[in-house]
Amino acid sequence: SDNIEFLKALPKCEHHIHIEGSLSPELLFQLSAKNNIPLPESDAAYSSIPALHQRYADFQSLDDFLGYYYTAMSTLIHASDFEALAMAYFTRAAADGVLHTELSFDPQAHTSRGIALTTVLTGLSAARARAASELGVSSVLICCFLRHLPVHESLVFFESEALQQAFASGEVVGIGLDSSEAGFPARGFEDLYTRARALGLRVTAHAGEEVGPESVREALDVLRVERVDHGISLVQDEALMRRVAEEGVMLSCCPLSNVVLRNVKSVADVPLRVFLEKGVRFSVNSDDPAYFGGYILDNFVAVQKAFGLSVEEWRTVVTNSVEGSWCDQARKSKIL
């Protein structure tokens, strides 16, 4: 319909996509066979591709999803696997009208099983170069730290030569914090974020996805993030919402993710209308598109179905998301 064509044509920036979260059941089975990485026989979900799709449609919680997410990424071995994964995402994103995208990745989930950071980065950067030249899609990389692992490990990994080199060269422009939110508060990662900000890195963190607004406040006060990933529980705290609006902190919202992971009952319960009314900036993103039933355009379509935003309101969303991106001003001007 006209509606979809309008949404498709909007110039999009994606801020919240875990590249490992774009690993489809189809690619998972391929990589498992190619790399000789068996999938858990004890879980009937891995008996076939359709069975796995069915299981992905029935996540009970963030942690339920994360178990499948970490299992699937264990089939990524070679730089060429990471390149193929990212290239498939870039191709799909370009078709959805994405002009700039900021890929989160979870290197600790790879180094912990013996895959070197340079292997991961070689693959992702090869895909990024091809996306720029073949698809006209610019991109940056965000190194996410896993909050369920001991804080000490994040500091050791942060200081590793390979990662410091990737920061110094500009190959990785920022850090994030992801994985289980409940029980793993942001305050443990204060030193990590202080060091990252001292290097001039961009900083974001998942907060307010499965925990209340106190988690968002902690990310702002302790980690001093410039963006918040998800942040939907912010709606429960009027004063904090005003502060976020005033300070221009951007939320990277992922409506389909919130429904599939049961943080809300339906897309209409993601507080995007309230955020618009209160001047809280947000972008609309896919999070883990292979797991949550949709890429960025599917999320735009779901938002439109739930809220019926006006052309003017979409302009606001799109403009804010370009302004909140971590590319240079020249690129932003070109996109808008």
Q: Residues, the chain, total?
A: 336
- Dihedral angle, C-alpha 116, 120, 121, 125, nearest 10 °: 160
* Site map (CB under 6 A) of ligand ADE, residues 206-235, x = contact: x--x--------------------------
In angstroms, give the least distance from the CB of 90 to Zn ion: 18
Integer CA distances (angstroms), 15 to 103, 243, 251, in order: 7, 21, 9
Which CB, 69 or 193, lies closer to Zn ion?
69
Which of 74, 139, 215, 257 is close enough to bind ligand ADE by CB under 6 A?
257
Q: Kindly state whether residue 102 participates in binding Zn ion, applying the rule CB under 5 A.
A: no
How far apart, in whole angstroms, are the C-alpha atoms of residue 74 and residue 31? 9
Q: Kindly state whether residue 18 participates in binding ligand ADE, applying the rule CB under 6 A.
A: yes
* Site map (CB under 5 A) of Zn ion, residues 286-305, x = contact: -x------------------
Residue nearest to Zn ion (CB): 287
How far apart, in whole angstroms, are the C-alpha atoms of residue 177 and residue 180? 10
* Site map (CB under 6 A) of ligand ADE, residues 95-134, x = contact: ----------------------------------------
3-state helix, strand, coil in the chain (%, to 5): 55, 15, 30
Integer CA distances (angstroms), 293 to 57, 118, 178, in order: 8, 31, 20
Q: Kindly state whether residue 178 participates in binding ligand ADE, applying the rule CB under 6 A.
A: yes
Which CB, 72 or 87, lies closer to ligand ADE?
72
Strand partners, 59: none
Q: Which of 34, 58, 54 is nearest to 46 (CA)?
A: 54
Which CB, 83 or 209, lies closer to ligand ADE?
209
237 known member of a binding site: no
Residue nearest to ligand ADE (CB): 178
Q: Is 209 one of the catalytic residues? A: yes
287 known member of a binding site: yes
Q: Kindly state whether residue 287 participates in binding ligand ADE, applying the rule CB under 6 A.
A: yes
18 known member of a binding site: yes
In angstroms, give the least distance from the CB of 80 to Zn ion: 25
The residue from 14, 20, 83, 209 that is catalytic is 209
The answer to whether residues 256 and 302 touch, using CB atoms and an 8 Å cutoff, is: yes
How far apart, in whole angstroms, are the C-alpha atoms of residue 158 and residue 128? 22
230 known member of a binding site: no
Name which of Zn ion, ligand ADE, none residue 59 binds, using a CB cut-off of 5 to 8 Å depending on partner kind.
none
Q: Can you tell me which residue has the tokens 């907060």?
A: 207
Q: Can you tell me which residue has the tokens 């942001």?
A: 186
Q: Which of 12, 45, 5, 22 is nearest to 293 (CA)?
A: 22
Which residues sit in the known binding site for substrate?
288
Residues at the site binding Zn ion, with contacts judged by CB under 5 A: 287
Residues at the site binding ligand ADE, with contacts judged by CB under 6 A: 18, 21, 62, 69, 178-179, 206, 209, 257, 287-288
